[in-house]
Copies of this chain bind each other. A is one copy, B any other.
Amino acid sequence: MIHNFNAGPSILPGEVFEQASRAILNFNDTGLSILEIGHRTPLFQAVLDEAIATAKELMQLDNDHEVLFLHGGATTQFFQVPMNLLDDNAKAAYLECGVWGSKPIKEASLFGTVEVVASSKDKNYSYIPKHFQIPEDAAYFHYTTNNTIEGTQMHFVPETNVPLVADMSSDILSRSMDFNRFTLIYAGAQKNIGAAGVNMVVVNKHILGKVKRRIPSMMDYRKHIENGSMLNTPPVFAIYVCMLTLRWLKKQGGVAAIDKINHQKASLLYDTIDNIPVFRPTVAKEDRSNMNVVFVMDNPDLEKAFLDLCKKEGMVGVKGHRSVGGFRVSLYNALPLSSVHALTDVMKHFALQHA
């Protein structure tokens, strides 16, 4: 039994792996592989249609919002967002609350003025700034909803009239929220949506077409909307895996149902960390992420012994990111509660041995 706590690419539902594996040999009883069918066939159109419709349904999106599946990762969106939304002489507001939240600031500065409204860089991004002002003349306000590396999560949506843009790569579809509040949402697929190599972008179409610059076709959201995510050959297989994963999530009861389970998983792990003196959480309690749980040891000499024990118990992806150290455990949608029980059992066992 393997427990996969990888930060991304990460665990997907077992039935998704099984269906994807079969489709590579024989897709929908066509005798053809999903890898060799034309993307402009009714066969693939049905896959794309279901992926888009299921995403819209799971997020309860209104008709102003379009769902796109685009080439690239969130890092592509770091520049595609300002290229489409930020004019040379305009200003965008950014919140900097993680390593991944600092990168889009750098990219946006190539296109217009960037105002960083607050940063938690002073404390290694271990908390989420709360009392920041979003300038009313900003073209948009950008933030990262969940910080994969540091293990923090925004548990509120800022109150503002400025259009909201969010990188939701590591917590999209993991918790109930009003997705229609956002003008643009993007997420690399390889955590809660599917396989690496595709981006999901949700955009309120009324924000588009306002900047003066000429945008390359592949970077223009309007062109992708007009062409139904098929401006060119899309990443067929990656979209197929998204469709299967979204279908699985719907079958689990959707976002509200998975939100409840994700809370159980996170509570179990944080309670264990809080109650075992060997381990210590690194982030402010109110900003703890339910997706990525980061913790360290007071005695770092024990780290290797704990990682060895985890490995022996079939646990993958427990080592922390090099910039924080310690441990990071990711609890994405597809990770079963039983894997968290297995981990907390190992932690308790380890604590008894080393207390």
Binding site for B on A (CB under 8 A): 2, 4, 6-12, 17-18, 20-22, 24-25, 31-33, 35-39, 71-76, 78-79, 83, 103, 106-107, 110, 188, 190, 195-198, 214, 216-219, 231-238, 241, 314, 316-317
Nearest opposing residue in chain B for A194, CB measure: B35
Nearest opposing residue in chain B for A189, CB measure: B233
Given contacts A9-B35, A12-B36, 15 further A-B contacts (CB under 8 A): A4-B32, A4-B36, A9-B37, A12-B33, A17-B25, A20-B24, A21-B25, A71-B71, A71-B76, A72-B72, A72-B218, A78-B217, A79-B217, A195-B236, A196-B237
Kindly list chain B residues whose C-beta atoms are within 8 Å of the C-beta of A219: 79
Complex Cα distance, B39 from A7, in Å, reads 10
Contacts A2-B32, A237-B238; A218 near B78 (Cβ below 8 A):
yes
Kindly list chain B residues whose C-beta atoms are within 8 Å of the C-beta of A4: 32, 36
Complex Cα distance, B284 from A49, in Å, reads 40
Kindly list chain B residues whose C-beta atoms are within 8 Å of the C-beta of A235: 196-198, 235, 238
Question: In the complex, are the beta carbons of B233 and A9 less than 8 A apart?
Answer: yes
Kindly list chain B residues whose C-beta atoms are within 8 Å of the C-beta of A103: 217
Question: In the complex, are the beta carbons of A231 and B75 less than 8 A apart?
Answer: yes
Kindly list chain B residues whose C-beta atoms are within 8 Å of the C-beta of A214: 110
Question: In the complex, are the beta carbons of A218 and B32 less than 8 A apart?
Answer: no
Contacts A25-B17, A232-B73, A316-B32; A39 near B196 (Cβ below 8 A):
yes
The 8 A-B residue pairs with the shortest CB-CB distance in the complex, in nearest-first order: A197-B235, A79-B216, A75-B232, A21-B24, A71-B72, A196-B236, A73-B232, A197-B197
Contacts A195-B236, A217-B79, A236-B197; A35 near B6 (Cβ below 8 A):
no
